[in-house]
Amino acid sequence: MNELNGKVALISGASKGIGAATARFMAEQGVKLVLAARTESSLQELAKEIIDAGGAAVAIGCDVAKYEDVEKAVDAAISNFGKLDILVNNAGLIEPIARLADSDPESWVTAADVNYKGVYFGLRAALPHMLKAGQGTIVNVSSGAATGALEGWSHYCSSKAAALSLTKCADVEYRDQGITVVGMSPGTVATGMQVSIKASGINRVSQLDPSVHIPAEWPAKAIAWLCTEEGKAYAGTDFSLKTEEGRKAIGLDA
């Protein structure tokens, strides 16, 4: 992935899980990073780790459900590194897991704001800069839930479906202007989200043995690969790590 060297990427939800793994992997490829998440203290630790290893990173507190926060994160990329080549819309919520009749309306909407509106806000803030540069890649971290229905996950399934529609719309609108917008559906990943899912005891995903979950480093590698020329073949779709084709494409065993 030598072609990523010198690129500038903004990663939301970068303080843990897939976001943090993606930051570390991209830093190894020479990508300059803007790390965004609500927990700024964890971000500062990650940024220091990357800088100490010879990389470039800045941390910024950001609630993706607030457009002004996302806009500030994009501005941080421009002010610190002079450009924005890559946006990874990774921030996401699955809690609280509950059937519709038992769901808390405020919490339900909060998850939808992060999972759906947060993707729109990222697109809206980043696209003008990318269009001006005539190039850019936006990876929206998706899920198999975007095309399915799971008990207790109405907030997650519906918001991920909406985000997938945004991926498709953005591709239709901007592919011919040098912008690649693609989704990445990793399957089940060994992150803190799986702890919450397991504890809920609702639907088949909560019954999975922890050993079946893939490490966060796999989707991190997939996200980086989708930012290369080869990844453009999947523009406007959700690239899936659950398929043999997907895993082989990024150099993993099927």
- 188 inside domain: yes
8 three-class SS: strand
User: Cα–Cα distance between 102 and 33 in angstroms, integer?
Assistant: 40
In which residue are the tokens 């490490």 written? Answer: 215
Inside any domain, residue 85: yes
Contact 92, 141 (CB under 8 A): yes
Position 57 scores a pLDDT of: 98
SS (H, E, C) 32-67: EEEEEECCHHHHHHHHHHHHHCCCCEEEEECCCCCH
Residue 155: Cβ-neighbour burial (10 angstroms; 0-12, 13-18, 19+): buried
* Cβ atoms < 10 Å from Cβ of 150: 18
Structural domain includes residue 137: yes
Q: For the chain, how many structural domains are there in total? A: 1
Catalytic residue among 116, 120, 156, 174: 156
Cβ-in-10-Å burial (0-12, 13-18, 19+) of 248 comes to: exposed
Q: What is the DSSP letter of 97?
A: P
Is residue 63 situated within a structural domain? yes
Q: State how far the Cα of 193 lies from the Cα of 49, in Å rounded to an integer.
A: 24
Q: Which two tokens stand for residue 117?
A: 């509106």
Helix or strand (DSSP H, E) at 164: helix 154-174
The 8-class DSSP code of residue 87 comes to E
Q: Is residue 252 part of a domain?
A: no
pLDDT of 211 reads 77
Residue 251 in any domain: the answer is no
The per-residue pLDDT string of the chain (254 residues; one tens digit each, 9 = 90 and over) reads: 689 999 999 999 999 999 999 999 999 999 999 999 998 888 999 999 999 999 999 999 999 999 999 999 999 999 999 999 999 999 999 998 999 999 999 999 999 999 999 999 999 999 999 999 999 999 999 999 899 999 999 999 999 999 999 999 999 999 999 999 999 999 878 787 787 888 888 888 888 877 788 899 999 999 999 999 999 999 999 999 989 999 999 988 64
- Residue 116 annotated in active site: no
Q: Give the pLDDT confidence score for residue 41 in this predicted structure.
A: 85
Domain assignment present for 253:
no
Give dist(CA 129, CA 229) in Å, integer. 20
Q: Which residue do the tokens 């990427």 mark?
A: 9
CATH number for the domain that contains residue 45: 3.40.50.720
Q: State whether the Cα torsion 44-221-158-207 is positive or negative.
A: negative
- The domain of 186 spans 2-245
The predicted model scores a pTM of 0.94
Give the torsion sign (CA, 222, 226, 227, 229): positive
